Chain A
């Protein structure tokens, strides 16, 4: 792993190329080199985060707002740390304290925050497409922190970084994504990212938890863990998202665990050194057995959380360095602007 000094971007040939997009709304639409760019940057931050002094100044003077319409602990904390370690000012807004409860619309909120001149907004929302809608109304960079069942791009990036650092590559790997694909934004972002990077993806779930037409996203579909896990390098477990379910998708948790929960026996079908991932929070005994989840040789779950901060630092840096003077253009308050 080459070490990149994130403090030194002006000179030196190892400086990564500019990230060519204004926002990070999803993995769909990114190219292989966009993803490599973000992962390469992240590698540098992993090292920085392991030092005693974890701070640099690439977001100095910049404001980051975490706007969370859905509950979140790890993603919000991860973004907050990322912003602070880059030297930025970070504000957290969650739905409980915002005026959304007073009936203000998403767009009004966006306009209000926009008028406060943030440099980056991280948005999580319970509805698919909400972050994209909000991004149309603001001048700053927007990072999708998860929207409905659509995308969660930083999760897919941190998963990719975790795999790449452990196995040295993504291309050619066999990855099984298991569980509640229907409601999962993590699954969709990972399917896009892994396919772009040349990995082969299978989804394993009962038919009720697989959305219609999923095979058109380039994945192999399995309804049985025995065939689905066979010979795979990575097993990605998804959380059973009961809070998004309307009505019954599986008869019971106990039956679900019997057929789709990852335990040692089912794991034997994968490659002998197959690795286990989970985006968290885990439901032990629902989709994953404790023994497997806590197996330090095979479980990457804690490493995923660590990589999360690095990836989010890389994303924020890449987006913010694109806007040297963000308020110079597209300023609705500037004279002459529409």
Chain B
């Protein structure tokens, strides 16, 4: 394979703090060289050249919280469509939740997902395994075997691990594996019948509320157990000021604790559910404006380590229903970068820090070697226009489920190319939707059609 030179780019490397004009040279799956001073005489050297035209070139995004519906509910999302959506969003690595049907609580199932993911091959896919069998919150899964098969962490997905003893043992047992326990931090009794943030808006709409303390209560209990066990703990999609405060305190006490949030928790607040917009129903619910601002502050000061899309495909039957009956969740792989860039555009945090929360930090939490633009690292990259103005149009998305909370939102920034292990896997300028994902994917799709032809 010929080396490829990506020249005339604004290089962004969050690990070294690099933000300068320069070029990247890839060979095969790796970056051969990069930097502001990299110069190759393209008239003599045997390289392909991609002129980035001054666009930003960053490590491919690492989205540590994605729900796939394969196996089981392929009409909402497949392992193919989720990878297309990721590639189109500049995401080159996803970590997937185990809440499929069947539930990924066994090494053979985990390996099925990994094998299917590699067959598609657009991006890196690393599954989480269930923390408890059947997500029932009772009995631990075979964490050792699952880790050996490639599980990057253990989680009960959208369900909290409620039983304190089960949580204690999960944290304790997994500590020797170095894999995080990822908690959906919400007291289930307080949240049981609720579908919106408790307060004036829920009251006016006649919806039952979930108090914001439901989040911090679960996190504070878990942090006690982390102290007790020395386990590795990660709180998913934190959304309240108090929870962020509790995590900041635990970090300053030296606990091995991390957390993430999702774009809707810093770009939207509970007002988005007015008119019973079920597409703004998420779990945990959208909170107050004060909580939203606390999330931004937590991201800026580093208490919140990562931004994850919390991609949750839902079909029409799950969303076009009365609010309280609607399934929670939004699809977000294709708006992850655009919404996150708002933080930089509004100068709420430094640009490189935004990139770090989307790339290097989540990779680090999962113990994965992604998220750098440096000699020898994986050639996983996203090249994007930083300033181009556009509007989110979910109908043009590649995910099978268009349940975006941001549809129609004006945004600044757009993915131009996505490179996965040296191969172009997304090209925004392609002539047709079929050609967007590169030659290898087109050939694989054709072959699979052939194989299934009657």
- A residues engaging B (CB < 8 A)? 28, 105-107, 125, 127-130, 132-133, 147-151, 185, 188, 211-214, 216-217, 246
Contact = CB atoms under 8 A, between A and B. Distances in A.
A246 B276 contact: no
A216 B200 contact: yes
Contacts of B205: 128-129, 150
Contacts of B207: 128-129, 148-150
Contact of B322 (A130, A151, A185, A217): A130
Interface string B309-337: 00000000100111111000000000000
Interface in B293-314: none
A108 to B, nearest CB: 10
Contacts of B41: none
A229 B53 CA distance: 74
B206 A213 contact: no
B346 interface: no
Given A132-B275, A133-B276, A217 B203 contact: yes
Nearest to B193: A246
Given A106-B321, A214-B203, A128 B198 contact: no
B200 A127 contact: no
Contacts of A125: 322
A212 B203 contact: yes
B192 interface: yes
A127 B204 contact: no
Contact of A211 (B209, B317, B321, B325): B209
A217 B320 contact: no
Nearest to B209: A212
Contacts of B320: 105, 107, 133
A185 B203 contact: no
Chain B interface residue bracket vs A = 20 to 34
B206 A151 contact: yes
Given A128-B322, A216-B203, 8 more contacts: A28-B204, A106-B321, A106-B322, A129-B323, A148-B207, A148-B322, A211-B209, A212-B202
Interface string B240-283: 00000000000000000000000000000000000110000000
B203 A128 contact: no
Nearest to A244: B208
Contacts of B36: none
A121 to B, nearest CB: 16
Nearest to A211: B203
Nearest to B189: A247
B3 interface: no
Interface in B383-414: none
B428 to A, nearest CB: 29
B199 A212 contact: yes
B70 to A, nearest CB: 24
A250 to B, nearest CB: 17
Interface core residue of A185, A188, A213 (most chain B CB under 10 Å): A213
Interface in B204-226: 204-209, 211
A111 to B, nearest CB: 11
A213 B201 CA distance: 8
Contact of B200 (A129, A150, A213): A213
Contacts of B208: 149
Nearest to B320: A107
Given A105-B320, A129-B322, A129-B323, A150 B198 contact: no
A127 B325 contact: yes
Contact of A133 (B198, B200, B209, B322): B322
